[in-house]
Amino acid sequence: MSEHVIEVKHLSKSFGDHEVLKDVDFNVDHGDVTSIIGASGSGKSTLLRCINLLEKPTSGEILFHGSSITGHDTDPCKYRAKVGMCFQSFNLFNNMTVLENCMTGPVKVLKKNKEEARSTALKFLEKVGMAPYINAKPRQLSGGQKQRVAIARALAMQPEVLLFDEPTSALDPQMVGEVLSVMRQLANEGLTMIVVTHEMAFARDVSNHVVYMADGVICEEGRPEDIFDNPKDPKTIEFLQRFTNR
């Protein structure tokens, strides 16, 4: 058996006295699509941000291909170049065009030459259906278009793992579809993804691993069919009931 791509071990995170993550453990293997679901404030974003080192864990460890990334000797920039992230609020660079957004990382971080970066950027923009908009500025795009560009920007780094923090929560229902369809395609192509989402259909149909979080702990995790059809924990049952009753 091959090693895990990401291992989260006894991860805890506090903001002041407020303990947001309590002893969280979970693993991600190559090609896994992991969905993290749970109520608002349960610590899903914090967990994802810890995995990308945007937050510093209070205790515990995160391993990437077996070696710790939470120690002092890891370069967070090198690590983040391999583990990308897409945000709820897109966070596209407002001073750049769509194409520049997708070229900056490869040129500045991966030190690719402009031509090469341009053709990779175009390839991924085409994949998310945003190639016609390469000259647009982010403020000229709709939410769904912004998120697709953000995905292309992350893909242009050719990351091993891509993290998504509620990529569709800020979107109108009609735009949700266009973003989910891109993510579904990425999943089919075998990209390793960790997705925090409130889209239960996506979690159920696309992911192969579902993690349910409540109050900073992982309540239950497993295959989507087990979690959705046979939840064991009363909290999970209650949470899912609220979604199906809607």
Partner 1 sequence: MTLPEGFFPRIGFIIQNYYGSFLSGVGNTMLIALVSTFIGCVIGLGVGIVQTTPTDKEKNPAAYYIMAVIHFILNAYVEIFRGTPMMVQAMFIYYGSSMVFGIDLSMYQAAFLIVSINTGAYMAETVRGGILSIDPGQTEGAMAIGMTHYQTMTSVILPQAVRNIMPQIGNNLIINIKDTSVLSVIGVMELFYTTKGIAGAYYTYFESFTVTMVIYFILTFVCSRILRAIEHKMDGPDNYELVLSDALTMGEGNYRVRKPESNTNRDLAEKKLRSSAESAIEKGNQREGL
Ligand X SMILES: Nc1ncnc2c1ncn2[C@@H]1O[C@H](COP(=O)(O)OP(=O)(O)OP(=O)(O)O)[C@@H](O)[C@H]1O
Binding site for ligand X (CB under 6 A): 15, 18, 20, 38, 40-46
DSSP characters over 129-148: T-GGGTT--GGGS-HHHHHH
Q: Please give the Cα distance from 86 to 235 (Å, whole number).
A: 28
In 5-97, which ranges are continuous DSSP H helix?
44-51, 76-82
What SS3 state is found at 17?
coil
At its nearest, how many Å lie between Mg ion and the CB of residue 180? Answer: 18
Distance CA 82, CA 75 (A): 12
DSSP category for residue 92 = -
Q: Is residue 168 near Mg ion by the rule CB under 5 A?
A: no
| CA R_g for the chain | 18
State yes or no: residue 186 binds partner 1 (CB under 8 A). no
- Return the one option of partner 1, ligand X, Mg ion, none that residue 184 interacts with (CB less than 5 to 8 A, by type): partner 1
Q: How far is Cα 38 from Cα 113, in angstroms, rounded to an integer?
A: 42
Interface pick for partner 1 out of 2, 40, 113, 174 (rule CB under 8 A): 174
Which run of H or E residues covers position 245? none
Which among Mg ion, partner 1, ligand X, none contacts residue 20 (Cβ within 5 to 8 A by kind)? ligand X
Closest CA to 29 of 209, 231, 245, 214: 209
CB of 154 to ligand X, least distance (A): 19
**CB of 126 closer than 8 Å to CB of 149:** no
CB of 42 to Mg ion, least distance (A): 9
Token output for 132? 């016609």
**Closest approach of partner 1 to the CB of residue 69, in Å:** 13
Decide: is 185 part of the binding site for partner 1 (CB under 8 A).
yes
Which residue number is nearest to Mg ion in terms of Cβ?
Answer: 45
The identity of residue 159, as a single letter, is P
Point out which span in 21-29, 43-51, 142-150, 173-181 binds Mg ion (CB under 5 A): 43-51
Under the binding rule (CB under 8 A), the answer on residue 14 touching partner 1 is no
Least distance from ligand X to the Cβ atom of residue 11, Å: 12
Q: Which of residues 62-91 bind partner 1 (CB under 8 A)?
A: 72, 76-82, 84-87, 89-91
Please identify which residue in 136, 170, 217, 240 interacts with partner 1, judged by CB under 8 A: 136
Report the residue count for the chain.
246
Question: Is the CB of residue 166 less than 8 Å from the CB of residue 198?
Answer: yes
CB under 5 A: which stretch of 39-47, 57-65, 143-151, 167-175 binds Mg ion? 39-47
Which residues form the interface with partner 1 (CB under 8 A)? Answer: 52, 54, 72, 76-82, 84-87, 89-97, 104-105, 108-109, 126-129, 131-137, 140, 142, 145, 150, 153-154, 157, 174, 177-178, 180-182, 184-185, 201, 205
